[in-house]
Amino acid sequence: MKKLLRIILMGIIMTSFIPTAFGHGLGGEVHPPVTLDGRDVILSIDISPSVFDPTEPERYISINLKEAKNEAVVEHVTYAFEMIKDGEQIFRKLFHDDLGNLTIKTINDNSNEIKIVGDKSPAIEAWMRTATDPVIMTGPIFNSGGLYEYKVEILAVDSDFKFLDKRMELVGAISLAEHSTYDVVDSKQDTHEVSVISYFDTVNNFKYDSDKISFSMPFDWNQDFEQLSVVHQEVRLAEGFSEFLHTKYEAKVNGILLPATVVTIDDYSLDGRTVHMVLNREDLSQIMEQATQQSDSQMHFEIGAGAGAGFPLQAATPDYRYKVQLSWEPEIINAGEDVTFFLQTNEIFTDKTKKNIEYDLELSQEERQIYKERISGNVNTDKVDRFEYRFSPEDVGTIKLAMSEIEGFPLANVSFLVAVNAPDVSKFPMELQSISESNPDEGQYTVDLTLFPNTLDLGEAEFVMSFYQKDTGLTTGDVTYDFVLIKNGTEIHRKSGIANGGGTFENFVFVEREVGDVTIRVENIGGTDEFVELPVNVTPEFPLGVLIIFAMIITMMIVVSKTKLAKNFQIQI
């Protein structure tokens, strides 16, 4: 299902960029009609699979020749076929196919010599399929992704022996997408996988720098852009990489900010998020002069968070029945704070009659379901479906928001990725909803938690807690609890207590070994299995050396100020 949606999505992305003349194809290319032996014909060439994977040695080249008028296959075609990579010829061989649909199976076998298995045409030494298998070519043919140039010469048509007085020659290039994968480390020192799929040439110089991803690709800025369709790059983010999940991205090439239309967010067709960057001929022409000031042989890509909210996020269902738009307030989602989601659904190809619909709405994190409800909503109207939710501290990270079975259709599904940040500890008291160990839906307590000081560092801290009944909002009276501090999965402190009248406090002195991320956990509330959690960060105090230098600077400033004051006083006298 995801593969189907990916094909549809690629169609949407590429619709505006269908070339009117021959260009660099994304795994394949269709030439415009040319006159051959008194009729207009169309040549197409394709490489499959179109994404280079060094673990998959087999690949297929297909060459087809059809009449433009009725798409009838031209039979008994003899080709001279040449392929070139990075200026070096890979092979030049003669091929023939009685049905006009030539298929060559290629196998990379780590050898340095190209060998061919097949039958020979009776008219000329041209390779052709056997009774059971296509032509098989082994050797160093597809060793990497990137741009493969080719030349196809048509020598004979309609008959094995009907050679043309003048050969028809067609040249072009096909982009074999290259899949490169990198491990990046975020600000919390967690490792995530990022992939770059290049549909044009080999990617190099990949770098992740806290708020942006950059990489380079060979590109001749002095070429004729009329012979080029698009430059397409994909950046795929692992689902857990919440630090880089933005509602809007901006992209640059050679330092030039690209139009917002170049960048598309896709959260559904693959696991995780895919950010597409597609530049057409017009985009390239507009930035060429500036781009060549940095390099005339490279494209330097940079992608990072865009300014402002990129709402609404959009997705189409796999059956291409609905388009769904999503936004939310506030834009930055913090655990422990209310967030309102807005969903607007429209049919794509029907008469778009206004009506009510139902669909399942689910929030999940990895395999854990957080929330699910059957929603009654609207389609094809200005009305926006809305719902409110408050994420708990354990939900920090990437959340998948999914709509499924819209109007009961099994393929009417979409999903979006949402980043939930740690609670904003500058806003006190933090209101935490309790969770039951045995049943997450049955928490009956609300705990207000305030820290003194608000920013924890080395030394003594005070934790003030108030307990309430979630349903009534009234204080609980006397309630028992366990106050626990956890670091790196290990308890560093535990104390049992009673909140007289629903209010109490606990003190703790942090030492140097406890610097970093710490989880505050209040558990066994009221003798139940319910708990609340809050992740915090304990910062180190200023090192002694820094304090000494700071004191010296202050002392020097005071001395200089006193000297200037004394001089001014003498002058006045």
Residue 563 clears pLDDT 90, i.e. is over it = no
Segment 89-109, tens digit of pLDDT: 999 999 999 987 899 999 998
Q: What proportion of the chain, given as a percentage, has pLDDT over 70?
A: 88
Average pLDDT for residues 315-323, to the nearest whole number?
Answer: 85
Query: Is residue 253 pLDDT above 60, yes or no?
Result: yes
Residue 213: name the closest of 231, 188, 225, 195 by CA. 195
CATH top-level class of 31-176 = mainly beta
How far is the C-alpha of 246 from the C-alpha of 419, rounded, in Å? Answer: 8
List beta partners, residue 371. Answer: 363
Using the predicted structure, report yes or no on whether residue 21 has a pLDDT greater than 80: no
Token pair recorded at residue 412: 């009417």
pLDDT of residue 544: 42
pLDDT in the model for residue 318: 81
pLDDT at residue 406 greater than cutoff 80? yes
Q: If you average pLDDT over residues 271-284, what whole number do you get? A: 89
Question: Which option is the CATH number for 313-421: 3.40.50.300, 3.40.50.1820, 3.40.640.10, 2.60.40.1930?
Answer: 2.60.40.1930
The maximal CA–CA distance of the chain, rounded, in angstroms, is 118
Given a cut of 80, is residue 417 above it in pLDDT? yes
Query: Do 313-421 and 430-538 come out as alike in CATH topology?
Result: yes
Sign of the C-alpha dihedral computed for residues 114, 116, 121 and 123 taken in this order: positive
CATH number, domain 430-538? 2.60.40.1930
Q: Where are the beta strands (DSSP E) in 380-478?
A: 385-390, 397-404, 414-421, 430-433, 435-436, 445-452, 459-469
pLDDT at 553: 43
Q: What is the DSSP string of 187-209?
A: TTS-EEEEEEEESSS--EEEEEE
* pLDDT at residue 541, as a whole number: 62
Report the pLDDT value the prediction gives residue 551, as an integer from 0 to 100.
Answer: 44
More confident residue, 336 or 488: 488
Spatial CB neighbours of 15, under 8 Å, sequence gap ≥ 6: none
Confidence grade of residue 18 (pLDDT, cut at 50, 70, 90): very low
Report pLDDT for 27: 67
Q: What is d(CA 520, CA 487) in angstroms, rounded to the nearest whole number?
A: 9
- pLDDT at 17 > cutoff 50: no
CB-neighbour burial class of residue 141 (10 A; exposed 0-12, middle 13-18, buried 19+): buried
- Bridge-based pairing of strands 333-334 and 414-421 is parallel
To the nearest whole percent, how much of the chain has pLDDT over 90? 44
The confidence score (pLDDT) of residue 9 equals 44
Residue 4 pLDDT > 60: no
For residue 420, how far is the Cα from the chain centroid?
17
Mean pLDDT value of segment 448-476? 88
Over 50: is that where the pLDDT of 571 sits?
Answer: no
Per the structure block, which two tokens stand in for 14? 């590429």
Each residue of 342-363: pLDDT tens digit? 999 998 877 778 888 899 999 9
Its pTM stands at 0.60
| Mean pLDDT, all residues of the chain | 84
**Phi, psi dihedrals of residue 383, rounded to the nearest 5°:** -70, 140
**Within 13 Å and on the Cβ side, how many CA atoms surround 396?**
16
Question: Does 267 score more than 80 pLDDT?
Answer: yes
Confidence (pLDDT) at 317: 87
pLDDT (tens digit per residue) in 478-491: 899 999 999 988 99
pLDDT of the residue at 227: 66
Stretch among 45-49, 187-191, 482-486, 512-516 having the lowest mean pLDDT: 187-191
User: Which structure tokens are listed for 306?
Assistant: 């865009």
Residue 75: pLDDT band with limits 50, 70, 90: very high
Helices (H) and strands (E) in the chain, counts: 3, 42
SS (H, E, C) 316-352: ECCCCCEEEEEEEECCCEECCCEEEEEEEEEECCCCC
pLDDT greater than 50 at residue 199: yes
| pLDDT at site 26 | 56
In sequence order, what are the beta bridge partners of 463?
A: 451, 506
pLDDT number for residue 396:
85
Lowest mean pLDDT among 20-34, 391-405, 408-422, 470-484: 20-34
Supply angle C-alpha 146, 147, 153, rounded to 5: 145
The band of 178, judged by pLDDT with boundaries at 50, 70 and 90, is confident
The C-alpha atoms of residue 273 and residue 179 are separated, in whole angstroms, by 15
pLDDT band of residue 1 (cuts 50, 70, 90) is very low
The CATH class of the 186-305 domain is mainly beta
Domain coordinates in residue numbering, the chain: 31-176, 186-305, 313-421, 430-538
| For residues 290-307, average pLDDT | 92
Higher-confidence residue: 516 or 117?
A: 117
Rounded to 5 degrees, φ, ψ at 286 are -70, -30
Burial (0-12, 13-18, 19+ Cβ within 10 Å), 426: exposed
Task: Say if residue 477's pLDDT is above 90.
Answer: no
